[in-house]
Amino acid sequence: MARKKITIIGAGNVGATLSQRLAEKELGDLVLLDIVQDMPQGKALDILEAGPVYGYNTKITGANGYEETKDSDIVVITSGVSRKPGMSRDDLLQINTGIVKGVTENIAKTSPNAILIIVSNPLDAMTYVAYKISKFPRRRIIGMAGILDAARFSAFISMELGVSVENIHAFVLGGHGDTMVPSTRYTTIAGVPVEELIPQERLNEIVERTRNGGAEIVNLLKTGSAFYAPSAAVVEMVEAVLKDKRKIAPCTALCEGEYGINNLFVGVPVILGSNGVEDIFEIKLNEKESVALQKSANEVKQLCNKVDALLGL
Ligand code: LMR
């Protein structure tokens, strides 16, 4: 069976760590692309040389141009500037719109059938940029954020209760910003609603920490943003697609009426399979959750309006 081809655009912390994780899992052959001369080639070779020790046979190539990425099955876009302490993700809108636009134009030409996974920030708006520029069908444009946010929520609950992360099913909706909606009602521990195990006041603090999870890392690192958990989240998505798992996971997807949201990319539970977003998984929200999701969607909408202006749409 021919191996799948996965391209990672951007060989910074997220791109390089993602390449390492994907190589170790032998999910396909990899191309790591960056505009910096020699750097992606160096990182790719280094990861390749770890293969004999770790026992993987993944082929990985570094590249500065798009020729090597031709006919990729999956392309992960991590390119762009990351925020510094004191900045919000939205402060990156202008600069990263230009970067994601340029990358997407190239990818749409060289890998017209690829599934795109977007990681650049502000996430929901950058996913929209990739959609508008590539003109790919909605099922092939997916933003990575919900799995990361849910992982943070799970990690904090695990620390609070002293139970395995494997027992926790955290549920997060909305944009990947300060208005994201971690749902305590649908978050369960071994099937038991978390609201029965942690007092509401304490849960509110955990929800707040989850919302600020990205900023917490930025403030600690000082010169960049998180990359271990984000890259792990992308691996889960790539694996679900390549193995056609039909896995339900929170991802940024184009809603066309689902959850009462129209023509907007926002974080919702989706079914991930070989076609990308196979479907959006709709569940009932109560009044409070619906209002919170709508608020978050409105914030994403404002950013997308700014993107339209930047792209001249
Ligand atoms: C994250 O949540 O870690 C990323 O979106 C990066 C950031 O700027 O917070």
Predicted local distance difference test score (pLDDT) of residue 45: 98
State the Cα–Cα distance between residues 263 and 243, nearest whole angstrom: 29
Q: What is the mean pLDDT of residues 69-83?
A: 98
CA dist., res. 112 & res. 131, Å (int)? 12
Contacts of 271 (CB under 8 A, 6+ apart): 246, 247, 248, 277, 278, 279, 280, 281
Contact 275, 248 (CB under 8 A): no
- Dump pLDDT digits (tens) for 81-105: 999 999 999 999 999 999 999 999 9
Assign residue 41 a region: left if phi > 0, alpha if psi is -120 to 50, beta otherwise?
alpha
Q: How many residues does the chain have?
A: 313
Alpha-carbon span 178 to 87, nearest angstrom: 12
Say if residues 46 and 23 touch (Cβ distance below 8 Å). Answer: no
The pLDDT value given to residue 2: 86
Q: Report which secondary-structure segment, H or E, holds 135.
A: none
Radius of gyration of the chain (CA): 19
pLDDT for res 1 = 74
With a pLDDT cut of 70, the percent of the chain lying above it is 100
Position 34 confidence tier, pLDDT thresholds 50, 70, 90: very high
How far from 48 is each of 2, 61, 96, 225, CA to CA, in Å?
A: 19, 8, 30, 26
Q: Higher-confidence residue: 48 or 313? A: 48
Q: Are 209 and 132 in contact (CB under 8 A)?
A: no
Distance 98 CA to ligand 1 centre (A): 19
Q: What atom in ligand 1 is closest to the CA of residue 215?
A: 9
Bridge partners for 142 per DSSP: 117
Query: How far away, in angstroms, is 215 Cα from ligand 1 center?
Result: 7
Residue 84, classified by CB atoms within 10 Å of its CB into exposed (0-12), middle (13-18) or buried (19+), is middle
pLDDT at site 121? 98
Q: From atom 5 of ligand 1, which residue's Cα is the shortest distance away?
A: 214
Q: What is the pLDDT of residues 236-253, one digit of tens each?
A: 999 999 999 999 999 999
Phi, psi of 244 (to 5 degrees): 45, 50
**114-159 pLDDT, tens per residue?**
999 999 999 999 999 999 999 999 999 999 999 999 999 999 999 9
Residue 202 counted as an annotated binding residue: no
pLDDT digits (tens, 9 = 90+) for 2-17: 899 999 999 999 999 9
Tokens 């000082």 — which residue? 222
More confident residue, 72 or 313: 72
pTM above 0.95, yes or no: yes
Pocket of ligand 1 (CB under 6 A): 82-83, 89, 121, 148, 176, 213-214, 217-218, 225-226, 230
- Give ∠ CA 80-84-89 in degrees, rounded to 5: 60
Taken in order of first residue, the domains within the chain and their CATH numbers are: 5-143 (3.40.50.720), 146-311 (3.90.110.10)
Cα(2) to ligand 1 centroid in Å equals 35
Known active-site residue 169: no
φ/ψ of residue 24, rounded to 5: -65, -30
Q: What percent of the chain has pLDDT over 90?
A: 99
Write down the catalytic residue from 5, 176, 211, 301.
176
User: Which of 289, 8, 305 lies closest to 171, judged by CA?
Assistant: 289
Q: Looking at residue 210, what is its pLDDT?
A: 97
| Residues paired with 304 in a beta bridge | none
Q: Which atom, in ligand 1's list, is nearest to the CA of 230?
A: 3
The average confidence (pLDDT) of the chain is 97
Distances in Å between the Cα of 145 and the Cα atoms of 11, 39, 112, 119, 282 are: 19, 27, 24, 8, 18
**Of all protein residues, whose CA lies closest to atom 4 belonging to ligand 1?**
214
Cα–Cα dist 198/161, whole Å: 8
160-202 pLDDT per residue, tens: 999 999 999 999 999 999 899 999 999 999 999 999 999 999 9
